[in-house]
Each structure stands twice: as structure tokens, then as C-alpha cells.
A and B are shown apart, each in its own frame.
Chain A
Amino acid sequence: MTFGKIYEKTRIWILLIIAAILPFAVTNNYWLHILNIGGIFAICTLSLNLLTGCTGLFSVGHIAFYGIGSYTAAVLSVKCGVPFLIAVPCAGIMALIFGLVLGMPALRLKGLYLAISTLAFGEIAYRVFLNWESVTNGTRGILGIQAPVFFGINFRSYNTYYYIVLIFLVMTVVLTRNLIYSRTGRALLAIRESEIAAQALGVNTVGYKIIAFAASSFFAGIAGALYAYEVHMIAPESFVSTESITVLAMMVVGGIGSISGSIAGAFVLTMIPEVLRSTGDIRLVLYGAAIVAIVIFAPRGLGGALEWLDHLLMGNHKKKVREEE
């Protein structure tokens, strides 16, 4: 048993254990909140990665699905008193329906034209959040979203809610991973590389693109719902199109198509503005500069760096396996 072999077998569990004991190490509520937001954005980034990274369908309005999920959960919870475990899947399904509504006609478009239609969709969604007073309360937003309660435990505090986010994040990772490594995932990759070639090989491109849209918007909706329960109040300002760009940046900084990268990208880009908070107004300037720097100096993204580290730690073991193959 070499170190590399042990590492390869245990790395997932070590990571999970570290994630599980993190709230005990971080006692500061503020940082716990940032961690939760990072986790929620990680889910959102993963969902975008499925659509843009794997399938090559460029979306610049992804925050709309996140917002739809958020508002669905908030309205269900506040106005109808629906419990957490029902509201969250409902939010996902609502986002999925809108994903199909956007996806079906948008499938005729390619590249930048698809991008602009998603941009338009995001913009329209934001206006609706802002102006549909009777449901969304307009600029005032929806207040008083109750924290979930399971087995008599109230998940209001950040360190308990952390575990809910963690569970959803792990579920999302497992599901997207399984999807990417399945027949469907290979079909999606084929579409990204060349749609015509995929078609020629008998891939039902329309069907698979719809699957990609549906799955992606579903997870984004879930992330939005989790966000609503994390902050207890939502307003349209959280869903402006700049946020879509932020999610896109998280994906690229993490590395396109990489699962570990998406998670790392989401956490890093959520943390950077907070770490820089002490620097005052200049923090967002540095944030922008940091994105440029990461893109220039780490072209494969954080995911590439993580993979490199992974291979280093696995050491000789991996090489041997390759030689045997």
C-alpha cells in the first residue's frame, strides 16, 4: 500500500470529513454565512457547467433560473406555508419548466445568438420580479422566510444550515458526475465538440440539448431556493444580470467542464470580495483584476491546478495504472 494508493482511495472521504467539521473550526457567523453562500453558488455554477461547460450552450442569463427558484420557494413558504422539503423540489421543478420554455425555442439558435436570447430571458425575468407586485412584492422583496425545522431542530443558525447546503451540494455533485460520465454525458460532450459530427453519429442532438437545459435549470432552481432559506428575505436586486456574469466567471475561473473546478471557482470568487472587504472601495477593482489574472496565469482554471495536485499526491500509483492500461 503506497501513499498514492491510500490517497486515491480515501481522498473523497477525507474531503467530506473536513467539510463536515468545518463549522466547528469556523465559529464566526459572518464567515459561516459566506461559506453557505459559496456552497449555494457552487451548486449554481455546477448547473451552469452542465449547460455551458459540457454541452457548449452558452448562457448569460443563468441567474434567472436561480431567481425563479428563489421566488418560488419564498412564495410557497411565506404565502402558502409549504414546508422546506416540498418547497425546494417545487422550486427546482418550476425553474425546470422555465428552462424548457426557454430551451425549446432557443435550440434553433447557435452560439452567440443563443447567448443573447438567454441574456434577454434574464433581463425579462428581472423585470418581472421587479414589477409583478402582487406576487413578488416588487422592490420590497419577500420577507420572513422561515428556516426549515427537522426532528425538532431549527436550522436557522448558519452553522446548522451549513449541513443542509452541504448535503445538497454533495447530491448535486454526485448527480452531475453520474450524468457527465453516463451515455447522456458523452452525448453532451459530443454536441459541444461538434454538433454536426454528433448528429452524423446518431446522437439525438435536440433531445440531449433539452435534457441539458432541463437538468441545468433544475439545479439552478434548487440553488435559488437554498439561497432564499439562507438569507430569509429576497429582493430583485439579487438577480440582476451582473450576477449571471458572476456565475459565468466562477465557471471559467474554476475551469470549463471541471466539477472540482466549478466548486473551487464558486468558493474563491465568493470569498475574494469578502477577504478584501477591509480594503474598502478598492475591493471590487481588485476582484476584477483577480479574474483577469487568474484567466491569464492559470488558463485551465483552478480545476487544472487541483488536478495537478491530485496527480502529484497520487504519485507513482497513477502512472503504473496508466502503463498497465
Chain B
Amino acid sequence: MQILQQLIQGLSLGSIYGLVALGYVLIYQAWGVLNFAQGEVCAIGAFSLLVLHAELGMPVYAAMPVAVLVSMLVGYVIEFLSFRPLENANGTTRLIATIGVSICVRNILRMIFGADYFSFPTIFGDTPFQVGELILVPQNLWNTAIGFALVALLNLFLKKTRIGKSMRATAQDKEAARLMGINVRASLTGTFVIASALGAIAGMLIAPVYLFNFNIGATIGTKGYAAAVLGGLDFASGAMTGGIILGIAECLAVVFGSSEYQSAIAYIVLFLVLILKPSEIMSKKKKVEKV
């Protein structure tokens, strides 16, 4: 029963990791770079909700969209200042630029909020209720539901709408997309902003579950990155799978190991999965390498 309990916990944590991973994947597909500042965007989401809801007393349902907008704006600024100038630079260089951005943003948060830990007022209620022998927390259930709903929505958006289609086309082949009359510039920016919004929502959902400080971006970012790569960096589907694998691994670690080593055990699982089933675990694409 305890295992089932932890599985549910892992699913809820994993769907948030999946959301963060989704941000990584979207940007990776469009820009060809892992955006290490994605974790900071999550932090921005969490902190803007904290300010709007807890400090200014806005009701949650009004504060959340505003916080998402704030994060989208921040995402746009990041894209404008550090992605656009480096569009034609090589991969490692761009990666380092995103690391620079993440250091920058993290310390701006530190300047504003200090190094103290904040406990976040719960959004969906944290009074646990019992179903049989299981103890469920509404917040966790909602997190899972919202995680999956967002992935479904995103899939729908990318497959059915005109904007979504042009984004996918841009991710596939920029030149061809441009020839088809797609505004590549706008698609790239749009993808980035949407990824930021997803990150912000993930940040807001995880904030009530964790005690957090300015460093939350680093923690959650690393998890998301791991989940994204585990999922194969393909569109949507893989990221969520990767996130859930990671989340469940982490929670099962509590059952079978010590909680001290919780995050280490998650990484050991990750490591073993990578070693035993190397590269492109979830990815369906078969790459042909040419010299």
C-alpha cells in the first residue's frame, strides 16, 4: 500500500517535472539548444504568484494568469537579449549564454527576496483525505490533472491551429518553413514565450508542495532537463514520460532507500536507464548520420 501511495505521489511530482521538461523540449526543437534558464522561468512564475497572491492579496484565479503573463514577458526579454544575437553561433556557446542568463535571473530573485525560504499558501487545499488506506492531498491530484491537461492542450494547439502548425514547421526545417511563407521569426519567439508560460505554470504548481527559496530554479531546472533528455527531446509525448519516470523513481527511492539519498537514487536510476538502454529511449525518429 505504501508503494501505491508513493506511486501516486511520484505521478504528481512527475507530471510537474514533465511540464518543465516540455519547456526544454519546445525550445530545443525550435532553437536547437537546451535552455538552462528554463528553471529560472519556473521560479519567476512561482515568485510572481507569491507576490500577487500572498503579498498583494489578489485572488488565486486572477493572480495566476497575471503571473503567467509576467513570466511570458520575462521569457520574451530573455529571448530578445540572449537568444536572438546568438542565433547562428554554435551549440555550446549558446548553452553557456543560457547558463549566464540563469545565473543572472537567479541572483536578481535573490536580491529581491533574499535567501529565506518561503512556504507557499496552498492553491487547491492541502487537507489530506482518505480513500481506503490511501491518503490523498488535493493539491497533488490537481497537479497531476493540470499537468496532463496542459500536455493534451499543447498537443491540440500544435496539431490543429495554424500558429501551432507553423511552429512545428519551423522546428522541423527553418529554410523550408520560410519558403512556405511562414513567419519564422515570430514562430521562434512564440515557441519561446509558450515554453516560458508552461515553465511558469509548473513553477506555480510545485511551489505549494515544496518549501522554496530563490534557488528553486536550479533544483527544478535540473530535474526538468534530466526528464527532457530521458524522454528523448521529441515533441510533448516523451517529455511527460521522462518526467513521470523521474518522479516515480524519486518517490520509490523513499520506500526502498533512505530519504537522504532520495535525489541520488533518482539519478542512479537515470544513469542505469541510460547505460542499459542507450540513446533515444523514447524517441521514435531514427537518425541517419552522414559524414
Residues of A in contact (CB 8 Å), total: 46
- The yes or no answer to B136 lying at the interface (CB within 8 A) is no
- The yes or no answer to B22 lying at the interface (CB within 8 A) is no
Candidates B92, B263, B279; contact of A252 at CB < 8 Å = B92
A106 contacts which chain B residues (CB < 8 A)?
275
In chain A, what residue has the closest Cβ to B96? A252
Chain A, range 96-124, C-beta contacts under 8 Å to B: 105-106, 108-110, 112-113, 115-117, 119-121, 123-124
- The yes or no answer to A37 lying at the interface (CB within 8 A) is no
Candidates B86, B92, B271; contact of A256 at CB < 8 Å = B92
Interface size class for chain B? 35 or more
Minimal beta-carbon separation of B75 from chain A (angstroms): 16
Tell me which of B5-13, B102-110, B145-153, B202-210 binds A. B102-110
Minimal beta-carbon separation of B289 from chain A (angstroms): 6
Candidates B86, B94, B100, B264; contact of A128 at CB < 8 Å = B264
- Against A, the Cβ 8 Å flags (1 = close, 0 = not) of B247-269 are 00000000000001101100110
Candidates A124, A241, A245; contact of B271 at CB < 8 Å = A124
Name A's interface SS. Answer: helix
Given the complex of chains A and B, what is the CA–CA distance between A99 and B226 in angstroms?
A: 21
A282:B96 contact, CB within 8 angstroms: no
A112:B34 contact, CB within 8 angstroms: yes
- The yes or no answer to A288 lying at the interface (CB within 8 A) is yes
A200:B291 contact, CB within 8 angstroms: yes
Minimal beta-carbon separation of B242 from chain A (angstroms): 10
B81 contacts which chain A residues (CB < 8 A)?
292
A120:B97 contact, CB within 8 angstroms: no
6 closest A-B pairs by CB: A288-B104, A291-B100, A288-B103, A127-B264, A284-B107, A120-B267
Using CB atoms and an 8 Å cutoff, list the residues of chain B in contact with chain A: 34, 36, 81-82, 85-86, 89, 92-97, 99-108, 110-111, 218, 222, 225-226, 229-230, 233, 260-261, 263-264, 267-268, 270-271, 274-275, 278-279, 289, 291
Using CB atoms and an 8 Å cutoff, list the residues of chain A in contact with chain B: 52, 58, 105-106, 108-110, 112-113, 115-117, 119-121, 123-124, 127-128, 130-131, 194, 196-197, 200, 241-242, 245, 248-249, 252-253, 256, 281-282, 284-285, 287-292, 295-296, 299
